[in-house]
Amino acid sequence: MALLKVENLSKSFSGLKAVSNLDLEIMEGELVGLIGPNGAGKTTVFNLLTGVYVPTEGTISFKGKRIDGSPLYKVSHLGIARTFQNIRLFGDLPVIDNVKIAYHQHVSYNTLSGILRLPNYYRGEAEIYQKAYDLLKIFDLHEKEDELAKNLPYGQQRRLEIARALATKPSLLLLDEPAAGMNPQETQNLMELIRWIREEFALTILLIEHDMSLVMGVCERIYVLDYGMVIAHGNPDEIKSNPRVIEAYLGEEAG
Amino acid sequence: MSNMGKNKLPIVNRKNIIVLFLLLVVYGVVQILQSNGILDRFYTMTLILACIYIILAVSQNLITGFTGQLAIGHAGFMAIGAYMSAFIVVKMNGPVVGGLIFGALVAAFAGVLIGIPTLRLRGDYLAIATLGLGEIVRIIFLNWDYLGGATGFQVPKSMNWTWAFWLMVLSVVVINNFINSSHGRACISIRENEIAAEAMGINTTKYKVIAFALGAMFAGLAGGIYANYMFFIQPGTFSFLKSFEILVMVVLGGLGSITGSILGAVIMTVASALLADIPELRMVIIAVLLIIIMIFRPNGILGTKEFNLSFLNPKKKGEENGIT
Amino acid sequence: MGSVEFAAQQLINGLSLGSIYALIALGYTMVYGIIQLINFAHGDIMMVGAFIGWFCTTVLKMAFLPALIISMTITAILGMLIERIAYKPLRKSTRLAALITAIGMSFFLEYGGILVVGPQTRTFPDVFPQTLYNVGGVTFKYGDIVIILTTVVLMTILQFVIKYTRIGKAMRAVSFDKDASALMGINVDNTISATFAIGSSLAAAAGVLMGVYFNTINPLMGIMPGLKAFIAAVLGGIGIIPGAMLGGIAMGLIESIVSGLGFSTWRDAVAFLILIIVLIVKPTGLLGKNIREKV
């Protein structure tokens, strides 16, 4: 059974179709890419999948359950986590707190224990801290745990967003342009990191990316979006040689 | 934090013991000065009002500074606490503690009731909606003749320095502990970035309402202390100008800083008392100071920082800076 | 009184009161539109305008029109001064800091006013004949006509200024996009000053009209009408000029109907209740468009 199944998904904004009749299927453990020129509707798809937008038409099923129309936090509880194209960290908070907050849905004590500082508060906090710290270590951010997130360099902010998303313990991770603004070396490292976390956390990953080398290098399957529609889909080699894809991208360059 | 698992009672540490000691000193000194008659009634009243305003400012800060919701209706919750506690004490001949608890609970309930529809609003819209609701509360009491209506309501004086001080400490400790728990962090994440918070699995509506209800509850408690100390309450006391006053204390001290709110409340109360002989000039001076502080220090005196005693405990990884 | 007369009577009362609210609301909405600040001192600027009008008519024995013009001019300068001294330094800091400054400015004008002129209520002289007209059971004062006429004239001038003059076009451009306007060579600072000047002079006009209408003025008179005018601005859609006019008139009508039905002590509560309902149902106001946050 597919982990994520999207059927006939459409979204219009005041009459303008941003996504139309999208069909998408992702199997458990896959690493899938979603590419397309600027304004093709890629981020809109993410926003639909995570519940930021309610679809105009169509259905989204995750683990066999309908999730279209569910609020964001419920989608997160079901196991979909994401990063944002325009980084949305908790900028005025320390790096470690960014991760701790994402761990909140798994917290082991309740509000009252927190206020009364019962023993399980201390146990819970110690556990949250340890888990958050371990995650930061994976992303090589542990030495910056007390720094404010907004003061991190760009590349580290992107990595922190991934670490934060992982703290929600997702089974599907959506990465929105994780390599944006990174240099080739950083991108290379990121590719390895993405492969590694997929194994380590038994994840399924869907990623949006502009950097073709990254997409072609890590993704097993690719969907190409243009004007809100899937114009091609297949493995990297098929996509590379697809005339419609070439046209869509050349068209963008020319325009 | 790692060594906390080994410690059987992590609440007992050097910092907390010193804080408790300092609190006892402050309490004791005032108590002695008062019983010796060195502190006259006016100064005692100022100190008790400072305690009341600390509760109001810290609870407003929970809503505005930590959760990031600009609500200007605190006077309304204070009014509910004041009138409901007075209702229990005067009309039902109930105990004062019962009155305070009842007042705080009704205020918390009102907070939930008001919070659910209005907390969807953002920024200035939330501000004006809560300001309006606060005024509606005042107008309801103005028209409620059973509780004195426009002429006011007499309540026997039962609060004193001991009550006010320790209830203030209790309020600050509860709010501080909340802020430093995972649930408090959930509230702070709303301030930082609401959509990211939602995407990380935080039910933002729920946590906004929790913060709002908790804030309203302590505003209600402050109102109860006020009513049972001042002999007399009337709706005019709880107008939106009172909400402004509370907001000013919070911003003055620093949004997102509990110690800042305490400082802001004390500064404003003491300044008002010192200038009490020249009431009009007092307001002009306060207004000018406020404008100057905002121009030169728009994040308040402490910003989001806490004045803390963390230097008393050697720094450990991940230790929070709470006072309890 | 029959129901038709009752309705007509409340319409007249509501139009007069609503005109005053609308004039104040315009300043709120223009300032909000251009710098996204709720200028809580705006109601107090109206109070200053009323006192200048009172001074001109009682001490200087002026007629209504010159008093109105002098009051509007001086208050316009005051509005610009307030913006330059208190708000301009805060343009780059948080909106809350600016809001607190506006609250501080409001206190400053109210209590500064008490220091200067004393806390007592003053009577506005009869600048118009106090004749009551009675047409088909509906009574109205000469003042009602003056208020409505003055408001119509001022709003027409305002519309003209905003649509066709250089400064009006600059104001619209700056409220749309400050940075782009600056790049296009618009002097943003002067445009903001002009907005405060125009908004304050309209408030001053409202103040003088209020004095004429209610006959009494005092330094704290600006608080409630200021708040209600702000509600009117939100009701119509904040930042939208026709919205402020519509909202003001609507507020005036609602208030006089509620009072006319004998619930005058609940008048303010009804105003706030309507505000809250509007905010919950359509937070951008009657004439506003919904804006979505980009994710």
Confidence of residue B144 (pLDDT cuts 50, 70, 90): very high
Show residues of chain B in contact with C37, CB under 8 Å. Answer: none
Residues in B closer than 8 angstroms to A137, CB to CB, are none
Question: Are C103 and B240 an interchain contact pair (Cβ–Cβ within 8 Å)?
Answer: no
Nearest to C272 among B125, B132, B291 (CB): B132
pLDDT in tens, C203-214: 999 999 999 888
pLDDT in tens, B16-36: 889 999 999 999 999 999 888
CATH among 3.30.420, 1.10.10, 2.60.40, 1.10.3470 for C3-281: 1.10.3470
**C95–B123 C-beta distance less than 8 A:** yes
Say yes or no to pLDDT of C15 above 70: yes
What domains does chain A contain, in order, with CATH numbers? 1-79+170-255 (3.40.50.300), 92-164 (no CATH)
Q: For residue B198, what is the nearest residue in chain A, using CA coordinates? A: A73
Domain-by-domain residue ranges, chain B? 14-27+40-311
As given in the structure block, the two tokens for residue A64 are 């066999």
Stretch 151-190 of chain B: residues touching chain A, C-beta under 8 Å: 174, 177-178, 180-186, 188-189
The residue whose two tokens read 């609401």 is B194
Q: Are B182 and A124 within 8 A, CB to CB? A: yes
Query: Are B202 and A117 a contacting pair at CB < 8 A?
Result: no
Give the tens place of pLDDT for each residue, A97-154: 999 999 999 999 999 999 999 999 999 999 999 999 999 999 999 999 999 999 999 8
Residue B1 — pLDDT band, cuts 50, 70, 90?
very low
CA angle B178, B184, B188 (to 5 degrees): 140
B31 vs chain C: nearest CA distance in angstroms? Answer: 35
How is chain C split into domains, by residue range? Answer: 3-281
Which strands form A204-208's sheet, in the order they lie side by side? A80-82, A172-176, A204-208, A31-35, A221-226, A229-234
Looking at residue B323, its pLDDT comes to 37
CA–CA min distance A240, chain C (Å): 30
Q: Which of C44, C279, C290, C295 is most worth mutating to test chain B (most B CB atoms within 10 A of its CB)?
A: C279
Q: What is the mean predicted confidence (pLDDT) over C83-93?
A: 90
Taking the C-alpha atoms of residue A73 and residue A76, their distance in angstroms, rounded to an integer, is: 5
**C-alpha to C-alpha distance for B212 and B131, rounded to whole angstroms:** 14
Q: Judge contact between B178 and B185, C-beta under 8 A.
A: no
pLDDT (0 to 100) of residue C292: 53
Residues of A in contact with B198 (CB under 8 A): 71-73, 76
**Which string of DSSP letters, residue by residue, matches B135-164?**
HHHHHHHHT-GGGTGGG-EE------HHHH
B touches which chains (3+ CB pairs under 8 A)? A, C
Q: Give the span between the Cα atoms of C25 and C176, in whole angstroms.
A: 20
pLDDT in tens, C141-169: 888 888 999 999 999 999 999 999 999 99
Nearest CB to B139: which of C107, C114, C269?
C269
Do C276 and B255 count as a contact with CB atoms less than 8 A apart? no
B2 touches chain A (CB under 8 A): yes
B171 touches chain C (CB under 8 A): no
Say yes or no for a CB contact (<8 Å) between A125 and B178: no
pLDDT digits (tens, 9 = 90+) for C112-136: 999 999 888 999 888 777 778 888 7
Residues of B in contact with C227 (CB under 8 A): 131, 240
B120-141 pLDDT, tens digit each: 888 778 888 999 999 999 999 9
| For residue B230, pLDDT beyond 90 | yes
Q: Flag whether residue C291 sits within 8 Å of chain A, measured between CB atoms.
A: no
Average pLDDT over residues A40-53: 92
Question: Tokens 């028209």 correspond to what residue?
Answer: B143
Write down which chains contact chain C via at least 3 CB pairs under 8 A: A, B
For residues A177 and A56, what is the distance between their CA atoms, to the nearest angstrom? 25
Residues of C whose CB is below 8 A from A43 = 295
Give the gap in angstroms from C-alpha A145 to the nearest C-alpha of chain B: 9
Residue of C nearest to B124 (CA): C38
What band does B320 get if pLDDT is binned at 50, 70 and 90?
very low
- Beta carbon pairs, A and C, within 8 Å: 5
> Cα dist. B313→B5, B15, B179, B317, C49 in Å?
17, 6, 20, 12, 59
> Can you tell me the mean pLDDT for B157-161?
93
pLDDT band at B4 (very low <50, low <70, confident <90, very high): very low
Express the helix, strand and coil content of chain A in percent, nearest 5 each.
45, 25, 30
Q: For residue range A206-247, what is the model confidence (pLDDT) as tens digits?
A: 999 877 778 888 899 999 998 889 999 999 989 888 888 888
Subunits with 3+ Cβ pairs within 8 Å of A are: B, C
Does B189 contact A90 at a Cβ distance shorter than 8 Å?
yes
- Indicate if the pLDDT at residue B317 is higher than 60: no
Chain B contact present for C193, CB below 8 A = no
| Domain B14-27+40-311 grouped into CATH 1.10.3470 | yes
CA closest to A76 among chain B residues? B201
> What is the model's pLDDT at position B8?
54
Is the per-residue pLDDT at B228 higher than 70?
yes
The predicted-structure confidence for B176-206, as pLDDT tens digits, reads as follows 999 999 999 999 999 999 999 999 999 999 9
How much of chain B, in percent, has pLDDT values that exceed 90? 66
Query: Are β-strands C132-135 and C138-141 bridged in parallel, bridged antiparallel, or unpaired?
Result: antiparallel
How much is the average pLDDT of A1-13?
91
Residue numbers of B between 279 and 308 with CB closer than 8 Å to A? 304
pTM across the whole model:
0.89
Q: Are B111 and B255 in contact (CB under 8 A)?
A: no
B283 pLDDT band, cuts 50/70/90, is confident
Tens digits of residue pLDDT in A15-40? 888 999 999 999 999 999 999 888 88
Would you call B185 and A104 a contact, using CB atoms and an 8 Å cutoff? yes
pLDDT at C222 over 60: yes
